[in-house]
Structure 1
Amino acid sequence: MKSYLKFLIMMSFLWLSAGSVLAEMAYVTDELQFMVRTGKSTSNKIVAIARSGDRVQKMETDGDWTYVKLADGKEGWMLGRFLVPDPPGKVRMITFEREHERLKQRFSSLEKEAAELREENKNFKKTLTEKKTNLEITESAHRQLKEDAAEFLALKEEAAKMRKELEAQDLLVKDMDARLLERNIKMFALGAGVLLVGMLLGGSMRKKKKSSFY
């Protein structure tokens, strides 16, 4: 009798253990396949297979069946209830992910260009400062040597030349500042785009998680 009870207890334990293993979580796949046939019946020959997210061209509808043309040119009948006007959630999510990655790469590229422009602008400003210093030295020497006619004319010509170079450098720096401002504006706009696409992607993923319970 005791041996029989021990046997029952052991079998109950094994049954409960097996039940707990079988009760693990699982998800229904969205990688579905749909048969494209030569006619409007499941008994007709299969000519192609359409998968979730494939784009097809609707050629004709007859009751529950729709005649379609696939991207590879194959044609046939498939059940129309599997066709929807908009891309499925997975395709939209992949599109969002690609756009998000493209925006991040573009943002990174603009950020690099802006850094290069800042460095170039810094070098131009340094050169401009040096030219201003040289101009001040030249003008000072010009004032001291203006009594000497020959040297006065030469220094005057050199000062005029340097003044023109200085004006050109000033215009170049202003142009660099304008380009840098434009890059910063583009970076801000792209940063906002990355954030918006990230939010849309996050919302799409949350909706997908909720829909998996139905």
Structure 2
Amino acid sequence: MKSTLNFTIFILILSTLICGTALGETVYVKGIMKITMRTGPGVEHKIIAMLESGDNLELIESGDGWSHVRNVDGKDGWVLTRYVTSEVPKTLIADRLKSENSALSEVIEKVKAENAELAGIKAKFETLDHSYSLLKKESADFLILKEKYEKVAKAYKDQEARNAALEKSLGNEDVKWFLSGAGVLFVGILLGMSARKKKRNSLL
């Protein structure tokens, strides 16, 4: 009895090694249109689901010719081992490549759009940079002109102030000279009148 049990265990281990698929691993339905999932390991068991090529299955147990699997809906049953594989089917690979290619195309289009937008921004920047350079040059010229104007204006005001002071000084001198001349003339008149009066008295 013990030897029979050991032999059975050996057969189970050997069959697992021959299948080359680890329990709990994801397996796929091979490139066949549809296969049946049954309640037990044999064609006499009831069909509970129809599986299509590329369907994703979780391997629960791998037996002699039959594998116990669970589909994505959580339903578990038995399928013929020869109809499942651990290799990703070419159809799924093709679909993934198409999806990745589509996503990549979207990324490329997005990059193109961003590059076009960047080119527009660059053109605007170059225009603004040119305008800024012109404004900077004109501003420099304006500052130079303003500095010259301020110098000339200051010189003009200084000269105007000097002229006003000179005119004021000249005006004061004219008054002094006028007053001096008038005083001399007045003294002369008085002296003349005094001399005439003395002369008249002497004649009397």
TM-score interval for Structure 1 and Structure 2 normalised by the shorter chain: 0.5 to 0.7
Shift of residue 130 of structure 1?
A: 0.5
User: Matched residues in 2 for 1:94 and 1:31: separation?
Assistant: 17
Percent of aligned positions that are identical: 22
More strand by share: 2
Written as runs of structure 1 = structure 2, the 5 A alignment for 1:59-98 is 59-98=60-99
Matched letter for residue 79 of structure 1: L
Written as runs of structure 1 = structure 2, the 5 A alignment for 1:42-191 is 42-149=43-150
Shift of residue 49 of structure 1?
A: 1.4
Gap runs ≥5 in structure 2: 1-30, 152-204
Deviations 1:55-108 (A, max 9, x none): 100001110000000000111011011111121111111111111111111101
Gap runs ≥5 in structure 1: 1-29, 151-214
Deviations 1:128-179 (A, max 9, x none): 11011011011012112213449xxxxxxxxxxxxxxxxxxxxxxxxxxxxx
User: Matched residues in 2 for 1:56 and 1:105: separation?
Assistant: 31
User: Matched residues in 1 for 2:147 and 2:89: separation?
Assistant: 84
Q: Which runs of 4+ in 1 moved over 6 A?
A: none
CA RMSD of aligned residues (A): 1.5
User: Matched residues in 2 for 1:44 and 1:31: separation?
Assistant: 21
Greater relative contact order (CA < 8 Å, ≥ 6 in sequence): 1
Matched letter for residue 42 of structure 1: V
Matched letter for residue 126 of structure 1: T
Residue 18 of structure 1: aligned partner: none
Residue 169 of structure 2: aligned partner: none
Shift of residue 31 of structure 1?
A: 5.3
Residue 205 of structure 1: aligned partner: none
Relative to the length of structure 1, the TM-score reads 0.54
Relative to the length of structure 2, the TM-score reads 0.56
User: Matched residues in 1 for 2:98 and 2:105: separation?
Assistant: 11
Shift of residue 119 of structure 1?
A: 0.3
User: Matched residues in 2 for 1:70 and 1:149: separation?
Assistant: 92
